[in-house]
Structure 1
């Protein structure tokens, strides 16, 4: 009961913040779900602002994640920016209107809520980084399961240049990804990494060999890379992701209980029985 009350209170607070932020309008997110492949694309579309995320886009992101949570055919989602640039963080037109402590608090709460839900999404998530992913754009990538960069792309936590810290949860996630020393290196220097540098320290999974001026080729290479992870059935992939999410958020005893619960949702199911009948384990 206490958890339900807490969740309801959080949802009410988020709804109130959304009413304030939806008036700061610029750009949009474009979601394209492909039921046949189970792979969706989510485009950050605000190219005149280097795909910065406005207040209205922060609200739309909340609603888009809800659509992905409800997508039963889904296996994965690829997040990328329109017109060759990933995301430059918060839209300055929005930011300039919320420079009070309360304004910053509301933005941080909303985006931490959004990116935590993205991280917990029972789909595989891929940040496909072209151009620049800086500031809040870099923070967004840390909420994804996989990060891919093109050769000329740059990734940087440049908050220090603006006299601020990460506020969307990216600082904390960066420490978990790289450890405190490397996280401090990136956060205090504000340096921007190319694909090879980011891969060397373990921040990105791979650097794509593609025509960076052709978004169709970039997406094709990304989907080809992703194919190795989406061969399973949607319910199996979502169950595996749920186990990983549980392990990140819980103590080992609680995570083990959750793993058992998830395991029993697929054990003896249609996909399991079919695999047993065909002896697929040893193929």
Structure 2
């Protein structure tokens, strides 16, 4: 089959291993859909698979941005869709893997992004820099109460984008939301999750391993390359906390704890987001036969109506 498979869900559930297993069995190539793994040099803190662990399987959309560049959903949409279609044209199966929620929608759903206006955006970014997220949130609440209620009041970058869209289009931010329907290319969407207590323990272990494996040193090496100037990269969970530690905001133990808490909070958001999507076929990351279970779902979903009637007369 060449129909794409998307492996989505919360962080630390085991998506990467499942994606590798599926790609091996289906002659696949992997397309990353984790926004922070787009950045060169951000390896430890994003749990990016080292080259030696990729089993010789081609990976796309890894290490494609400098840390000073701003990752955007719109730019990702264009290049990732081209990657998926090129993989299918080669007769291989695209296996899309990651947990960046809006990036998943941009790739799989009909989503046309409003144009940008550098002057409008710069004006609101100045407000954000000088007066903080509270001021931006108040402005958004006045311009678009629905958007203000749905966007986290700490997500300054998204609030700036909402204000830009409202000012550009004269319409609510929700008017530019993606249209949910049949996934692009007939993609089979698999969601990987785990029991909450088990997942929290995995996040805790993963956080400890990152710090023990040199996350602080990785951040120190990225600072001369412009990490502090990056609008997106410097806000990544783990990197932001280490930067604060290096600035003597708190000690290393607190940086680690804040990274764990930030990851756990993000996982809850991911779970809530993906659980709302009725197209997702959920699997248990703790299933000892996970790859077989997932492959059975993929093959069942890929049968034609005629095959279905033969199997279930």
Larger Rg: 2
Structure with more contact order per residue of length (Cα contacts < 8 Å, sep ≥ 6): 2
TM-score normalised by the chain length of structure 1? 0.30
TM-score normalised by the chain length of structure 2? 0.28
